[in-house]
Amino acid sequence: GAVVSQHPSRVICKSGTSVKIECRSLDFQATTMFWYRQFPKQSLMLMATSNEGSKATYEQGVEKDKFLINHASLTLSTLTVTSAHPEDSSFYICSSGGLRDTQYFGPGTRLTVL
Amino acid sequence: QKEVEQDPGPLSVPEGAIVSLNCTYSNSAFQYFMWYRQYSRKGPELLMYTYSSGNKEDGRFTAQVDKSSKYISLFIRDSQPSDSATYLCAMSAGEYGNKLVFGAGTILRVKS
Protein backbone atom coordinates (compact mmCIF):
# COMPACT_ATOMS: atom_id res chain seq x y z
CA GLY A 1 0.00 0.00 0.00
CA ALA A 2 0.89 3.66 -0.21
CA VAL A 3 3.34 5.15 2.26
CA VAL A 4 2.29 8.40 3.88
CA SER A 5 4.45 10.55 6.10
CA GLN A 6 3.53 13.43 8.37
CA HIS A 7 5.64 16.15 9.87
CA PRO A 8 5.97 17.06 12.64
CA SER A 9 4.96 14.04 14.72
CA ARG A 10 4.42 16.21 17.74
CA VAL A 11 4.11 19.94 18.29
CA ILE A 12 3.53 22.08 21.34
CA CYS A 13 2.63 25.71 20.81
CA LYS A 14 1.29 28.70 22.63
CA SER A 15 -2.31 29.82 22.30
CA GLY A 16 -2.78 32.21 19.40
CA THR A 17 0.01 30.87 17.20
CA SER A 18 -0.39 29.03 13.91
CA VAL A 19 0.84 25.53 13.28
CA LYS A 20 1.47 23.87 9.92
CA ILE A 21 1.31 20.10 9.47
CA GLU A 22 2.65 18.46 6.33
CA CYS A 23 1.35 15.26 4.80
CA ARG A 24 3.31 13.55 2.04
CA SER A 25 2.34 10.62 -0.12
CA LEU A 26 5.75 9.05 -0.71
CA ASP A 27 5.05 6.46 -3.38
CA PHE A 28 1.65 7.32 -4.77
CA GLN A 29 0.46 10.39 -6.61
CA ALA A 30 -2.61 11.41 -4.68
CA THR A 31 -5.05 13.79 -6.26
CA THR A 32 -7.12 13.40 -3.12
CA MET A 33 -5.95 13.41 0.46
CA PHE A 34 -7.99 13.53 3.66
CA TRP A 35 -7.49 15.22 7.01
CA TYR A 36 -8.89 13.74 10.20
CA ARG A 37 -8.93 14.71 13.83
CA GLN A 38 -9.07 12.18 16.64
CA PHE A 39 -9.76 12.92 20.29
CA PRO A 40 -8.71 10.41 22.98
CA LYS A 41 -10.67 7.16 22.88
CA GLN A 42 -12.77 8.35 19.96
CA SER A 43 -12.91 7.37 16.32
CA LEU A 44 -11.59 9.40 13.42
CA MET A 45 -13.50 12.54 12.50
CA LEU A 46 -13.10 13.65 8.91
CA MET A 47 -12.32 17.35 8.75
CA ALA A 48 -11.82 17.93 5.06
CA THR A 49 -11.02 16.43 1.69
CA SER A 50 -7.99 17.96 0.06
CA ASN A 51 -8.03 18.11 -3.72
CA GLU A 52 -4.87 18.77 -5.71
CA GLY A 53 -5.08 22.07 -7.54
CA SER A 54 -8.45 23.09 -6.16
CA LYS A 55 -10.11 24.14 -2.93
CA ALA A 56 -10.58 21.68 -0.13
CA THR A 57 -14.01 20.40 0.77
CA TYR A 58 -14.76 20.85 4.45
CA GLU A 59 -17.10 18.78 6.58
CA GLN A 60 -20.01 20.44 8.29
CA GLY A 61 -18.95 22.27 11.42
CA VAL A 62 -15.27 22.58 10.45
CA GLU A 63 -14.14 26.20 10.12
CA LYS A 64 -12.33 26.58 6.81
CA ASP A 65 -10.74 29.86 7.88
CA LYS A 66 -9.29 28.22 10.95
CA PHE A 67 -8.07 25.02 9.32
CA LEU A 68 -6.38 26.06 6.10
CA ILE A 69 -5.63 23.28 3.65
CA ASN A 70 -3.31 23.51 0.69
CA HIS A 71 -2.75 20.69 -1.81
CA ALA A 72 -0.32 22.20 -4.25
CA SER A 73 1.18 18.99 -5.60
CA LEU A 74 0.28 15.35 -6.06
CA THR A 75 2.43 14.36 -3.12
CA LEU A 76 1.97 17.12 -0.56
CA SER A 77 -0.97 18.48 1.39
CA THR A 78 -0.65 20.86 4.32
CA LEU A 79 -3.00 21.69 7.16
CA THR A 80 -2.48 24.97 8.99
CA VAL A 81 -4.24 25.48 12.28
CA THR A 82 -4.51 29.25 12.59
CA SER A 83 -4.70 31.04 15.92
CA ALA A 84 -4.64 27.75 17.77
CA HIS A 85 -6.40 27.44 21.10
CA PRO A 86 -6.29 24.72 23.77
CA GLU A 87 -9.50 23.16 22.42
CA ASP A 88 -7.65 22.53 19.13
CA SER A 89 -5.33 20.14 20.95
CA SER A 90 -5.84 16.77 19.30
CA PHE A 91 -4.31 14.06 17.15
CA TYR A 92 -4.37 15.08 13.49
CA ILE A 93 -4.03 12.35 10.87
CA CYS A 94 -3.89 12.61 7.11
CA SER A 95 -4.50 9.90 4.57
CA SER A 96 -3.81 9.37 0.92
CA GLY A 97 -6.64 8.09 -1.22
CA GLY A 98 -5.61 4.80 -2.78
CA LEU A 99 -7.18 2.48 -5.29
CA ARG A 100 -10.83 1.55 -4.90
CA ASP A 101 -11.41 3.83 -1.97
CA THR A 102 -8.73 2.41 0.29
CA GLN A 103 -6.95 5.05 2.32
CA TYR A 104 -3.44 4.87 3.68
CA PHE A 105 -2.86 6.87 6.80
CA GLY A 106 0.08 8.84 8.03
CA PRO A 107 1.49 8.31 11.52
CA GLY A 108 -0.36 11.33 12.90
CA THR A 109 0.61 14.62 14.52
CA ARG A 110 -0.10 15.29 18.15
CA LEU A 111 -0.87 18.96 18.69
CA THR A 112 -0.83 20.44 22.17
CA VAL A 113 -1.83 24.07 22.54
CA LEU A 114 -0.88 25.64 25.86
CA GLN B 1 -29.03 5.87 13.91
CA LYS B 2 -25.39 5.94 12.82
CA GLU B 3 -24.52 4.75 9.34
CA VAL B 4 -22.01 2.29 10.79
CA GLU B 5 -22.38 0.67 14.20
CA GLN B 6 -19.48 -0.94 16.01
CA ASP B 7 -19.27 -2.04 19.62
CA PRO B 8 -16.43 -0.05 21.24
CA GLY B 9 -15.61 -2.82 23.72
CA PRO B 10 -13.16 -3.28 25.28
CA LEU B 11 -12.95 -6.91 24.31
CA SER B 12 -10.54 -8.97 26.42
CA VAL B 13 -9.45 -12.43 25.33
CA PRO B 14 -6.70 -14.87 26.34
CA GLU B 15 -3.76 -15.44 24.05
CA GLY B 16 -4.56 -18.01 21.37
CA ALA B 17 -8.28 -17.28 21.30
CA ILE B 18 -10.27 -16.65 18.13
CA VAL B 19 -11.48 -13.06 18.05
CA SER B 20 -14.60 -11.91 16.25
CA LEU B 21 -15.08 -8.21 15.55
CA ASN B 22 -18.23 -6.95 13.87
CA CYS B 23 -19.88 -3.95 12.28
CA THR B 24 -23.36 -3.36 10.97
CA TYR B 25 -24.33 -0.67 8.51
CA SER B 26 -27.47 0.87 7.10
CA ASN B 27 -26.43 2.25 3.69
CA SER B 28 -27.01 -0.39 1.02
CA ALA B 29 -24.82 1.61 -1.40
CA PHE B 30 -21.65 0.59 0.44
CA GLN B 31 -19.55 -1.69 -1.75
CA TYR B 32 -16.03 -1.50 -0.36
CA PHE B 33 -15.27 -2.67 3.14
CA MET B 34 -12.07 -2.25 5.09
CA TRP B 35 -10.62 -3.11 8.47
CA TYR B 36 -7.95 -0.93 10.02
CA ARG B 37 -5.82 -1.59 13.08
CA GLN B 38 -4.71 1.36 15.17
CA TYR B 39 -2.16 1.18 17.93
CA SER B 40 -2.20 3.85 20.59
CA ARG B 41 -0.96 7.22 19.27
CA LYS B 42 -0.37 5.86 15.78
CA GLY B 43 -2.14 6.24 12.47
CA PRO B 44 -4.51 3.45 11.37
CA GLU B 45 -3.01 0.62 9.32
CA LEU B 46 -5.00 -1.08 6.59
CA LEU B 47 -5.46 -4.75 7.47
CA MET B 48 -8.07 -6.09 5.10
CA TYR B 49 -9.97 -4.85 2.09
CA THR B 50 -12.97 -6.61 0.57
CA TYR B 51 -15.37 -5.85 -2.22
CA SER B 52 -18.97 -7.05 -2.06
CA SER B 53 -20.05 -10.20 -0.20
CA GLY B 54 -17.86 -13.14 0.68
CA ASN B 55 -14.77 -14.07 2.64
CA LYS B 56 -11.17 -13.02 2.31
CA GLU B 57 -8.32 -14.58 4.21
CA ASP B 58 -4.84 -13.22 4.90
CA GLY B 59 -2.74 -15.17 7.35
CA ARG B 60 -4.48 -15.18 10.72
CA PHE B 61 -7.08 -12.67 9.56
CA THR B 62 -10.35 -13.40 7.79
CA ALA B 63 -12.74 -10.68 6.64
CA GLN B 64 -16.33 -11.57 5.96
CA VAL B 65 -19.01 -9.47 4.28
CA ASP B 66 -22.72 -10.26 4.23
CA LYS B 67 -24.39 -7.54 2.19
CA SER B 68 -27.84 -9.06 2.55
CA SER B 69 -27.61 -8.61 6.32
CA LYS B 70 -25.48 -5.45 6.12
CA TYR B 71 -22.97 -7.07 8.42
CA ILE B 72 -19.21 -7.39 8.25
CA SER B 73 -16.81 -9.30 10.46
CA LEU B 74 -13.11 -9.64 11.10
CA PHE B 75 -11.84 -12.88 12.60
CA ILE B 76 -8.41 -13.16 14.17
CA ARG B 77 -7.11 -16.68 14.77
CA ASP B 78 -4.49 -17.58 17.35
CA SER B 79 -4.61 -14.09 18.81
CA GLN B 80 -1.39 -12.64 20.18
CA PRO B 81 -0.70 -9.88 22.71
CA SER B 82 0.66 -7.85 19.79
CA ASP B 83 -2.85 -7.87 18.32
CA SER B 84 -3.97 -5.63 21.19
CA ALA B 85 -5.13 -2.46 19.46
CA THR B 86 -8.23 -0.65 18.30
CA TYR B 87 -9.87 -2.15 15.22
CA LEU B 88 -11.86 0.17 12.98
CA CYS B 89 -14.22 -0.94 10.27
CA ALA B 90 -14.66 1.42 7.33
CA MET B 91 -16.72 1.37 4.18
CA SER B 92 -17.55 3.40 1.12
CA ALA B 93 -19.87 3.47 -1.85
CA GLY B 94 -17.10 3.38 -4.42
CA GLU B 95 -15.28 5.67 -6.84
CA TYR B 96 -11.87 7.11 -6.22
CA GLY B 97 -11.77 9.88 -3.70
CA ASN B 98 -14.92 8.86 -1.90
CA LYS B 99 -15.05 9.44 1.82
CA LEU B 100 -14.84 6.49 4.14
CA VAL B 101 -17.42 6.02 6.87
CA PHE B 102 -15.82 4.61 10.00
CA GLY B 103 -17.17 2.63 12.89
CA ALA B 104 -16.39 3.78 16.41
CA GLY B 105 -13.60 1.22 16.74
CA THR B 106 -13.36 -1.81 19.04
CA ILE B 107 -10.61 -1.94 21.63
CA LEU B 108 -9.10 -5.43 21.74
CA ARG B 109 -6.92 -6.66 24.58
CA VAL B 110 -5.17 -10.00 24.25
CA LYS B 111 -3.81 -11.23 27.56
CA SER B 112 -0.75 -13.47 27.75
B7 — phi, psi (to 5°)? -70, 125
Instruction: Using pLDDT thresholds of 50, 70 and 90, give the confidence band for residue A42.
Output: confident
Mean pLDDT lowest for which of A84-98, B21-35, B91-105?
A: B91-105
A23 contacts in chain B (CB < 8 Å): none
Question: CA gyration radius for chain A?
Answer: 13
Torsion of CA A26, A27, A33, A38, to 10 degrees: -60
b (16+ CB within 10 A) / e for A70-94: ebeeebbbbbebeebeeebbbbbbb
Residue A2 has pLDDT above 80, yes or no: no
- Partner A contacted by B109 (CB < 8 A): no
The pLDDT tens digits of the residues spanning B12-50 come to 999 999 999 999 999 998 989 999 999 998 999 999 999
The size of the A-B interface in CB pairs under 8 A is 62
The pLDDT tens digits of the residues spanning B45-75 come to 999 999 878 899 999 999 999 999 999 999 9
**DSSP symbols for A45-58:** EEEEEEETTS--EE
Closest to A93 (Cα-Cα) out of A51, A41, A47, A35: A35
Per-residue pLDDT at B64: 97
Residue B7 has pLDDT above 60, yes or no: yes
Question: A101 and B102 in contact by Cβ < 8 A?
Answer: no
Residue A107 has pLDDT above 80, yes or no: yes
Beta bridge partners of A111: A11, A90
Per-residue pLDDT at A29: 82
B99 contacts in chain A (CB < 8 Å): 34, 46, 49
Chain A residues at the B interface, defined by Cβ less than 8 Å, are: 1, 4, 6, 31-32, 34, 42-44, 46, 49, 51, 91, 93, 95, 97, 99-108, 110
Residues B45 and A63: their CA atoms lie apart, in Å, by 28
Per-residue pLDDT at B51: 84
Taking a C-beta distance cutoff of 8 angstroms, is the pair B4, B101 a contact?
A: yes
Instruction: Using pLDDT thresholds of 50, 70 and 90, give the confidence band for residue A1.
Output: low
Instruction: Using pLDDT thresholds of 50, 70 and 90, give the confidence band for residue A99.
Output: low
B51 contacts in chain A (CB < 8 Å): 100
Closest to A36 (Cα-Cα) out of A66, A79, A73, A76: A79
Per-residue pLDDT averaged across A83-104, rounded? 89
The pLDDT tens digits of the residues spanning A3-28 come to 899 999 999 999 999 999 999 998 87
Taking a C-beta distance cutoff of 8 angstroms, is the pair B91, B74 a contact?
A: no
